[in-house]
Structure 1
Amino acid sequence: MTTYAVAHMREVTVGPAIIEYLQRIDETLEPFGGRFIVHGAEPTVLEGDFPGRLIVIAFPDREQAQGWYDSPAYRAILPLRTENSRAEAVLVDGVGDDHRATDVLAPDMRAHR
């Protein structure tokens, strides 16, 4: 199942450190099959307040995503981002093509659909 690394970048101070991070991150993704799906596009906010931008990186599975984040190559550049931005980052598994909204309900609750 595809796993996504998602970062909500609330603030970024663009300078030499962030530029270096951007120049080096692609090479850290390659061994783990990671690729950018969303990278900083201006969001259209439909509800609520959403300061900042989103970054979404897809990996073949959770093992590859966690391996990338824990890798020495990524750990070497991580402070370039964390020391020059304010953000939250998570790993989240995707769903299959046959997923339905009610699939997240406990089995006994599905009977009420």
Structure 2
Amino acid sequence: MTATSGRPAYAVGYLRDVAPVPQVAEYIERIEATMAPFGGEWLVHGSSLVPLEGTWTGALVVIRFPSLEAARQWWDSPAYREIAPLRTDHSDSMVCLVEGVPQGYLAATTAAALRSQLAVAT
């Protein structure tokens, strides 16, 4: 793998209407082997979900990778692409990759940048 930003990245899946079929069990059995070469590790899988806003009718999955590049390489890997239909053919899913914030990130810095942009726009 090439150089990375030093920021972790996450594969986030929201799964609804997962059919209780052997193909889904096979997907779950095989996914860890596809994650390992790219440094993927579970953060959320099969955990209780407590909705606080909106309607949540499914399950949430979160996998951490060392970088966005590593997450993308996992997603595009032949090993993962081979098993993906075991999930997609038997569930309604939304999946995204998202880069995490750098260490020491403060939301106040983002708010200050937004306020600066707003001041220039007026």
TM-score, reference length from structure 1:
0.90
Match of 1:8 in 2: 14
Tell me the C-alpha RMSD between the 2 structures.
1.9
Where 2:11 maps in the other structure, the secondary structure is: strand
Amino acid at match of 1:28: T
CA–CA separation in structure 2 for the residues paired with 1:105 and 1:90: 25
Match of 2:4 in 1: none
List structure 1 runs of 4+ shifted beyond 2 angstroms. 102-108
Larger strand proportion of the pair: 1
1:25 aligns with 2:26: no
CA–CA separation in structure 2 for the residues paired with 1:30 and 1:74: 11
Of structures 1 and 2, the larger Rg is shown by 2
1:32 and 1:68 in contact (8 A); partners too: yes
Identical-pair percentage? 43
* Unpaired segments ≥5 residues, structure 2: 1-6
Render the CA deviation track for 1:9-50: whole Å, top value 9, x for unaligned. Answer: 122002110011011101000000001100021211112211
1:102 aligns with 2:83: no
TM-score, reference length from structure 2:
0.84
CA–CA separation in structure 2 for the residues paired with 1:64 and 1:103: 27
* Unpaired segments ≥5 residues, structure 1: none
Correspondence for 1:43 among 46, 49, 68: 49
